[in-house]
């Protein structure tokens, strides 16, 4: 039976700053002179819902916000800082995924991302070496936990139900996948893929 393992990015494969795992905005004020609360209020709260489902482009919305709240910062300098500081890879999980992939299981990302960072994750961060595909919200036009996101993944893979297993740190996303018949693991800090898979097999949920 062909199977696919769908892996979330932020909070699962990628956990904050490379050096210490703290949120990428932890020293935003010190490093770039930008108040993270202002950034959230004027950009993420207002524009991110449209950007993350591909309804608006990142630069189109972010550049004018920066010009207003941080005129000393360019869009290019800000995004370079953001992407570089939100890039701590879970190398143990990647190694476990590589092992499963070598056994014939399809490994893909299932993530809420806009187009620019999705390309960065695959290219600059090197995730293309570890996966077979990426499914992300801006390309699909829907985000997790919306059923349309999961149905799009099913259609593109040609799989459904228990042939699909999701790793995600959002319980809401896990529950949404389970409602469509997927297997799903609620990923938390300290989780290990071998233990989680063994738990599913022991419960008779993965054969």
pLDDT band at 63 (very low <50, low <70, confident <90, very high): very high
Distance from chain centroid for Cα 185 = 15
Mean pLDDT across 36-57: 98
Whether residue 145 has a cis bond before it, omega within 30° of 0: yes
Report pLDDT for 198: 81
pLDDT band at 203 (very low <50, low <70, confident <90, very high): low
Q: Which CATH number applies to 4-16+88-202: 3.40.50.1000, 3.30.590.10, 1.20.1440.230, 3.40.50.10860?
A: 3.40.50.1000
C-alpha 51/C-alpha 115 separation (Å) is 9
Statement: residue 21 has pLDDT above 80: yes
- Per the listing, tokens 């904050």 go with 16
E strand or H helix at 168: strand 164-168
pLDDT band at 207 (very low <50, low <70, confident <90, very high): low
Provide the residue ranges of all domains of the chain, joining segments of one domain with +. 4-16+88-202, 28-85
C-alpha 81/C-alpha 168 separation (Å) is 25
Distances (CA, A) of 52 to 48, 74, 77, 92: 6, 21, 21, 28
């Amino acid at each position: 039976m062909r199977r696919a393992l769908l892996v979330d990015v932020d909070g699962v494969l990628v956990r904050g700053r490379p050096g210490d795992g703290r949120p990428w905005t932890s020293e935003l004020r010190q490093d770039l002179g930008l108040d993270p609360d202002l950034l959230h209020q004027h950009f993420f709260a207002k524009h991110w819902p449209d950007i993350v489902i591909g309804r608006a482009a990142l630069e189109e919305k972010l550049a004018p916000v920066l010009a207003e709240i941080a005129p000393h910062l360019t869009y290019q300098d800000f995004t370079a800082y953001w992407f570089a500081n939100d890039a701590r890879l879970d190398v143990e999980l990647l190694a476990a995924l590589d092992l499963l992939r070598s056994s014939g299981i399809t490994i893909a990302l299932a993530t809420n991302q806009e187009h620019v960072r999705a390309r960065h994750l695959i290219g600059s961060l090197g995730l293309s070496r570890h996966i077979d595909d990426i499914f992300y919200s801006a390309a699909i036009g829907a985000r997790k936990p919306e059923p349309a996101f999961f149905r799009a993944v099913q259609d593109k893979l040609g799989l459904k139900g228990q042939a699909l297993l999701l790793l995600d740190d959002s319980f809401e996303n896990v529950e949404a996948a389970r409602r469509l018949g997927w297997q799903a693991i609620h990923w938390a800090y300290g989780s290990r893929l071998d233990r989680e898979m063994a738990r599913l097999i022991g419960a008779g949920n993965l054969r």
